[in-house]
Amino acid sequence: MENNTANKQRRSILQGCLAMGLASYLNTSLSQSNWPQKPMRFIVPFVPGGTSDIVARTVSQELSKQLPFPVILENKAGGGGVPAMLEVSKAPADGYTMILGHVGSMAVNPYIFTNTGYDVNKDFAPVTLLAKVPSLFVVHPDLPVENLKELVAYAKNNPGKLNYGSAGNASAGHLAMEYLKLTTGMEITHIPYKGTGPALTDLLAGRIQVFSAGTPALLQYIRSGKLRAIATGTPQRISSLPNLPTVAESGYKGFESVQWYGILVPANTPESVIKRIQEESYKALRTPAVAERFASEDAVIGGGSPAEFAALIAQQQRVWKNVVLKANIRAD
């Protein structure tokens, strides 16, 4: 009798557990299938005004139109993007917190910061590449150089005289310039700023002489004559500046430096949610507003699968690890 009672109790407990588990599964599945159910945060680890902000803002505006809830852009600058990445790595893995990943945060920081509190390859899930943007190399027009060869000669003949600015240590512009220095053998002192905007202010005022950034942040100043473009880091010339030679054409074959930007979410975010964000991003990238804006900046539109974005990150980590070691790039 006691055995029968005990068996009934065990069956009752088991049935209750199964029911709870099924309910939890159904609730989770329903939540995922109905994503989103509230606004999403899109973290940009740099100040407003730079290429990263332009790319993220352009896409987020279209996503907000497509989805039932808005995508809210948040600029969280500082620390080479580490504080922003750390925050997102610890956010709930539910698709409501995304971050803009780029060459610095994903392919350089792992080799210059010893303890960030996160692992870019374990604590984040790639969603999709948004864009590849040409790296342009520009100088203040008062500098007596017209092209890259003349800049290299001037720097070598005037040691310690030239300074270049960047959006911060390990930013895309910092990396591009250090790569160019390694390739050409010239020496130019690095002055890190807290964002592209402040660096551009000093460049336009002539307080620094050399700079590298993506086309969205620089094109208007080049066209107005306030800055002089001397080379592009792309393998081929770009349509917006067809007379601007590439670094490779300037005598440094094999050189290539482009900026890239994509969406990442905390690891363990449900695959169904990641797929939805990728699909919505693909649609946003092909709207007339985004396509026209990116085309005007020579940005190559992304939108591919998470696996394709992950493969790009891995390839870029191999490239920039070598640059970091040779240029002895260190954290602030």
- Least confident among 27-36, 38-47, 153-162, 203-212: 27-36
Contact partners, residue 326, CB within 8 Å, separation at least 6: 182
The one-letter amino acid at 209: Q
User: pLDDT tens digit string along 223-249?
Assistant: 999 999 999 999 899 999 999 999 999
- State the Cα angle at 87 between 86 and 90, rounded to 5°: 85
Percent of the chain whose pLDDT exceeds 70: 90
pLDDT given at position 16: 56
Both tokens assigned to 69? 């809830």
pLDDT given at position 104: 87
pLDDT given at position 62: 97
Find, among 71, 67, 126, 64, the residue nearest to 97 by Cα: 71
Which pTM value belongs to this model? 0.78
Q: Does residue 19 surpass a pLDDT of 60?
A: no
Q: CA distances (Å), 305 to each of 56, 72, 88, 110, 312, in order?
A: 18, 23, 21, 23, 11
- State the Cα angle at 46 between 45 and 49, rounded to 5°: 145
User: pLDDT tens digit string along 47-61?
Assistant: 887 788 889 999 999
**pLDDT confidence of 296, banded at 50, 70, 90?**
confident
